[in-house]
Amino acid sequence: MTDIAQPIVVGVDGSTSAVGAATWAAGVAARLGAPLHIVYATPYLGHNFTDAAAAVRAAAITGQHEAAASILDTAADAVRRAEPDLSITTSAPPESADEALETLSSQARMIVLGSQDVSATSALLIGSLTLKTISRAACPVIAWRGDILTPTTQPIVVGVDGHNSDTALELAFELAAALRVPLWAVRSSSSRRGPGNVTIPFLIDWEALEAMEWRSLSATVGPWAQRHPDVDISFFVEHDKPSQALLQRLDGAQLVIVGTRGHGALAGALIGSTSLNLLHHSPLPVGVCRPAAD
């Protein structure tokens, strides 16, 4: 990658979803004024638990050199048709896809991968390229899915959870400003329970708790809103678990972005995490941002 500006990196593997991801990433790159770098590497196959899996990996490595040029050309042609003026580079590094993407992430603005979903089985047993990349990348990772091939005028949804949301808010505001679309900031307030679930329900000031949630949401988002005064932002406090609070706000949106606490690959794969639930259930592209300190 020789461009001075940080590129958007998109990984391709010859699949239809990868070409869709590349086309979508190209639209985002054009609006951000960033170059696009398309990369193809040896497929990430997880841990080799069996000799058969090791043989598959060996065959993939052998076939890489034959397939790389064709796969990269196909993706680049699709991108040029969609964004003819965009600066595009390609590469086929010798290392595995997870290693290549980790290396490229240190120079990238974001990484985009075609990903229909991430199942609990793949997350816990063999892992996935998406989860592996999220856990190790030095930049935000967007798992593209759905049928949106170019940015639209629909809102971007961002999950807000205290300081863990800073990198997610940074990306969300940056994209909302570049795409000139509204931003929906969603905070989960799953602590609210019915009177039958508490010992002395009348001593709990639910209105005060509600007001506290709204103040926390406003205080977290406020500094970013001041930096991007042209972004039209709406606030939502949902009385549900974080993943459900976000999923119920996706109707009519084009992208959802969340932060992750960055506890590592294993913790990131635990069933029930907000990121994993969104990766598994969201019909829209999902952006996952690790804390800057990571």
Same domain, 73 and 172: no
pLDDT digits (tens, 9 = 90+) for 46-101: 555 565 656 665 665 666 667 888 999 999 999 999 999 999 999 999 888 899 99
Collapsing DSSP states into helix, strand and coil, what is residue 126?
Answer: helix
Same domain, 121 and 238: no
Mean pLDDT of the chain: 82
Same domain, 80 and 189: no
Query: Which pTM does this prediction carry?
Result: 0.83
Same domain, 140 and 156: no
pLDDT digits (tens, 9 = 90+) for 25-39: 999 999 999 999 999
pLDDT digits (tens, 9 = 90+) for 191-228: 544 445 554 555 555 566 667 777 778 888 889 999 99
**Helices assigned H by DSSP within the chain:** 16-32, 51-82, 97-105, 120-121, 129-136, 166-179, 206-227, 242-247, 265-268, 274-281
Same domain, 60 and 122: yes
CATH code for the domain in which residue 124 is found: 3.40.50.620
pLDDT of 156 above 70? yes
Among 149, 166, 182, the domain-final residue is 149
Same domain, 203 and 87: no
Lowest-pLDDT choice from 5-9, 13-17, 28-32, 60-64: 60-64
Report CA-CA distances (Å) from 55 to 9, 41, 286.
29, 17, 33
Q: How far apart are CA 20 and CA 75, in angstroms?
A: 9
Asked if residues 21 and 29 have their Cβ atoms less than 8 Å apart, the reply is no
pLDDT at 35: 97
Amino acid present at 172: A
Same domain, 2 and 144: yes
- The range of the structural domain enclosing residue 14 comes to 1-149
3-state SS, 31-49, equals HHCCCEEEECCECCCCCCC
Domain count, the chain: 2
pLDDT at 293: 57
Q: Which of 185, 188, 76, 95 is nearest to 136 (CA)?
A: 95
Same domain, 131 and 199: no
Lowest-pLDDT choice from 6-20, 106-120, 138-152, 226-240: 106-120
Q: How far apart are CA 64 and CA 14, in angstroms?
A: 11
Q: Which of 1, 9, 285, 291 is nearest to 148 (CA)?
A: 285
Q: Which of 116, 233, 241 is nearest to 173 (CA)?
A: 233
Reading the block at residue 148, the tokens are 């949106």
Among 149, 175, 202, the domain-final residue is 149
Same domain, 131 and 240: no
Same domain, 168 and 142: no
- φ/ψ of 257, rounded to 5, equals -130, 135
CATH code for the domain in which residue 229 is found: 3.40.50.12370
Among 92, 126, 149, the domain-final residue is 149
Same domain, 21 and 120: yes
Same domain, 91 and 166: no
Collapsing DSSP states into helix, strand and coil, what is residue 133?
Answer: helix
Q: How far apart are CA 218 and CA 130, in angstroms?
A: 31
